[in-house]
Amino acid sequence: MSVASTLKRNILTVVMLVFIAGLVMSFATPEYRQGESSLAGRTAHDFEFILDGKMTHLSDLRGKVVVLNFWATWCPPCVEETASLNTLQAQIASQGGVVLGVSVDDDASAYERFLTDNHVSFPTYRDTTKKIAASYGTKMYPETYLIDRHGKFARKIIGPQAWDEGDILLYVQSLLIQK
């Protein structure tokens, strides 16, 4: 085998490896996962939670666009997206939207400290049983469900997002203008 043919084969191998790595990265990034709509149109699972000291149901939020975010204090990607969820809450509250966080933390003091340290401005509920997340099939954190004003799933998003910018913000805004 000549040096030229070996060099050509090595270059082709590198090009193919770069292509495959790029393809894998495109599927692994949150941008790709923004589009999962396999649940679209199904009614969101109703559940009970305590909001402002009283028992509430997800169905009580019908008429609002709900950004239902499952998270935990021990989850670095969850921590990463908290500031943008705060900003999103501020942007959508006056338009009939709400970010609703459901934490799966066992440690009450870590949960409370996190809310204070990160100035969490959206309603949250700590579900120590983890039954709510399990009923949604959530296994990875953060995981977020976008629910329209009629209580129907619009999208499921796995992984952290910059909720206050880009395509994901435009998508949430599109849900807010739908009646």
Is residue 27 domain-shared with residue 103, that is, in the same domain? Answer: no
Q: Do 48 and 131 reside in the same domain of the chain?
A: yes
Mean pLDDT of 25-54: 69
Same domain, 20 and 85: no
Which tens digits make up the pLDDT trace of 116-130? 999 999 999 999 999
Question: Which range, 34-48, 57-71, 132-146, is most confident?
Answer: 57-71
Which residues, 6 or more positions from 21, have their beta carbon under 8 angstroms from its beta carbon? none
pLDDT in tens, 73-125: 999 999 999 999 999 999 999 999 999 999 999 999 999 999 999 999 999 99
Tokens 């169905």, located at residue: 59
According to the model, what pLDDT value does residue 20 have? 64
H helical segments located in 54-178: 76-92, 108-117, 131-135, 166-177
Q: What is the CATH number of the domain that holds 146?
A: 3.40.30.10
Q: By residue range, what is the domain housing residue 129?
A: 35-177
For residues 66 and 91, state if they share a domain.
yes
Pick 137 or 33 by higher pLDDT: 137
Q: What is the pLDDT of residues 133-169, one digit of tens each?
A: 999 988 889 999 999 999 999 999 999 999 999 999 9
Q: Where do the DSSP E strands lie in 18-161?
A: 48-51, 54-57, 65-71, 97-103, 124-126, 143-147, 153-158
Inter-CA distances, 146 with 22, 82, 105, 123, 137, Å: 28, 16, 22, 15, 15
Backbone angles phi, psi at 125, to 5 degrees: -140, 135
Q: Is residue 145 domain-shared with residue 116, that is, in the same domain?
A: yes
Same domain, 60 and 148: yes
Considering the domain architecture, whether residues 3 and 61 belong to the same structural domain is answered as: no
| 159 and 89 assigned to the same domain | yes
**Does residue 156 sit in the same domain as residue 82?**
yes
Q: Are residues 46 and 27 in the same domain?
A: no
Domain shared by 29 and 84, yes or no: no
d(CA 147, CA 126): 20
